[in-house]
Structure 1
Amino acid sequence: MAETLRVASVNVNGIRAAYRKGMGDWVDSSGVDVLAMQEVRADDSHILELLGDEWHVLHDPCEIKGRAGVAIASRVPSTAHRIGLGAVEVQEQIQSSGRWLEADFDFGGGSLTVISNYTHSGEVDTPRQEAKWAFLDAMGARMSELSAERELAAIVGDFNVGHREFDIKNWRGNVKRSGFLPRERAYFDRFFGPLGETITGVDGTEGPGFGWVDVGRRFAGEVDGPYTWWSNRGQAFDNDTGWRIDYQVVTPALAERVVDYRVARYPSYDTRWSDHAPVVVDYRI
């Protein structure tokens, strides 16, 4: 293996459609070692046929055909994997099929866990938002378990929440919409707060910090974006009126191994193969 491990994450918005629009060319030239995908919306056979024999593929499809679905493709096989988030009764409540897939990889005597996460999009005052709250609760519980169990872990994918005002170009117009609700953002205040410290969220609630690291914000600094999703409406992509809702969220020890971070923004609107851009991070191994 190379001295760095390249982990990429992208909501493909349907892998078959993405490949028809050029995703394969990007995969072939990306140098990615581990590729986490969300909204795969395909069968195992479709993924294997599109990616090719050189990839090892794990896949958790959604029970509802044509929706969600998460996958992890890797150049080397995983040593173990787990599907779903939380106990069975929790999974039923949060409808987590096709939304959470964990894979363990060995390298150089160490072990890395990569999780492909597709958080619910939610909708205010509907059951969809209730499912999102439950999912975020379960995610937090699993983050606590993971950080206690292993030194190197990365939760990557479409979190469907812009954490801070930097993360949404038109944030003022979205403070009452799912994806930028104060209560949603408060989860992320705690996820990224110092471990064990009492964190006051943007909604005024208090809770302990989890100590995980938002690689994108740490690497980019206090700047707008870089955005990872753009609406198909109007000139959102051309004007870079986007949202940063795709993350690589890692344990502190893995954060210290980050060599490079970038959003692989498409050259132009007509070269996009998804409404999300890949988030690519190189880790020193």
Structure 2
Amino acid sequence: MRIATFNVNGIRAAHRRGFRAWLDRSDLDVVAVQEVRCPVDLVPREAVDGYHLAYDPGTLAGRNGVAIMTREEVLAVRAGFGNREFDTEGRYVEVDLPGLTVASLYLPKGGTPFEDAASEAKFRRKLRFLASFQHHLTRSRRQALNAGREFLVMGDFNIAHTELDLKNWKTNRRSEGFLPEEREWFGRILGQRRLVDVVRRLNPDQPGPYSWWSWRGQSWNTDAGWRIDYHLASPGLAARAVSGGTDRDETYEARISDHAPVIVEYADPTVQQTADGT
């Protein structure tokens, strides 16, 4: 199975920039999409043709919206994670497939407690999201396991977990997305009995591979990026990861979004492995 996560920064703009051509050449079974940013009836049909679409647009016009595109028809769809403050914002959707529960997440960017009252309020709001979402991850992962399915949550977490996950980490220690509270939370949801950062497991000592670069300045040309888009998988699925990383565009002009897709190839979770892993 080839599975991707992609914050498209607006599906209509991404479609104009070549989303469909990317989709066709990538040969994907599942795509988690974030920041779709449009009502269901305005999603370009050509962009999703050939896929089943599970989409939660939320209620914030022109903002957020998460989706999962699957070649195979899904067994169930669930939007939100049981939090009244956030569930109307189009930030989380999950689906069941044979042998696999897949989720698409767009986590709030947040703010910092160092600037002004507005920024601190965004920081506190993000912490509320993280606390609630952590409980949901535990529930959903265990429910999938009890149903005989692996679990995979993908998307834009708006957190760089370690110093390997952003180029200029020394100058961003007081920036949202790299604050101690955010990084500590990320560490708590990981573990060999919880969730595994698949791309980091495949690339244990490599800086990046980054998945977001600002549109402005020279950050893309100098690869001064952030790794904030993840595949977090249950241990059984993570062990089936064959290869994975960022599908970075060839040139700045060819960019579809300010994010790049993160693609991982997994051995099919519906096929039982032997004791030696084959």
Name the CA distance, whole Å, in 2 between partners of 1:247 and 1:276. Answer: 12
Counterpart of 2:84 (choices 74, 82, 91) is: 91
Counterpart of 1:184 (choices 179, 182, 185) is: 182
The alignment's TM-score, normalised by the length of structure 2, stands at 0.89
Q: Is the 8 A contact 1:40 1:68 kept in 2?
A: yes
* Residues 1:104 and 2:100 aligned together: no
Q: Is the 8 A contact 2:15 2:44 kept in 1?
A: no
Counterpart of 1:137 (choices 116, 127, 131) is: 131
Name the CA distance, whole Å, in 1 between partners of 2:237 and 2:75. Answer: 19
Query: Counterpart of 2:276?
Result: none
Name the CA distance, whole Å, in 2 between partners of 1:257 and 1:52. Answer: 27
Counterpart of 2:16 (choices 4, 17, 20) is: 20
Name the CA distance, whole Å, in 1 between partners of 2:237 and 2:63. Answer: 31
The alignment's TM-score, normalised by the length of structure 1, stands at 0.87
CA RMSD of superposed structures (Å) = 1.3
Counterpart of 1:62 (choices 58, 64, 67) is: 58
How far 1:22 sits from its partner (Å)?
1.0
Name the CA distance, whole Å, in 1 between partners of 2:223 and 2:48. Answer: 33
Name the CA distance, whole Å, in 1 between partners of 2:192 and 2:199. Answer: 17
Query: Counterpart of 1:266?
Result: 249
Q: Is the 8 A contact 1:91 1:97 kept in 2?
A: no
How far 1:34 sits from its partner (Å)?
0.7
How far 1:168 sits from its partner (Å)?
0.7
Q: What are structure 1's unaligned runs of at least 5 residues?
A: 196-210
SS in 1 for 2:23: helix
Deviations 1:93-139 (A, max 9, x none): x3552100001111xxxx20110000000011332222211111122
Alignment of 1:157-236 (within 5 A): 157-195=155-193, 211-236=194-219
SS in 2 for 1:9: strand
How far 1:76 sits from its partner (Å)?
1.2
SS in 1 for 2:43: helix
Query: Counterpart of 1:117?
Result: 105
Q: Is the 8 A contact 2:165 2:227 kept in 1?
A: yes
Q: How many pairs were matched up?
A: 258
How far 1:221 sits from its partner (Å)?
1.1
Q: Is the 8 A contact 1:59 1:101 kept in 2?
A: yes
How far 1:85 sits from its partner (Å)?
1.4
Q: Is the 8 A contact 2:48 2:69 kept in 1?
A: no
Q: Which moved more, 1:41-50 or 1:76-85?
A: 41-50
Aligned-pair identity in percent equals 42
* Residues 1:30 and 2:26 aligned together: yes
Between Structure 1 and Structure 2, which shows a larger proportion of strand residues?
Answer: 1
Name the CA distance, whole Å, in 2 between partners of 1:19 and 1:160. Answer: 23
Q: What are structure 2's unaligned runs of at least 5 residues?
A: 114-119, 269-278
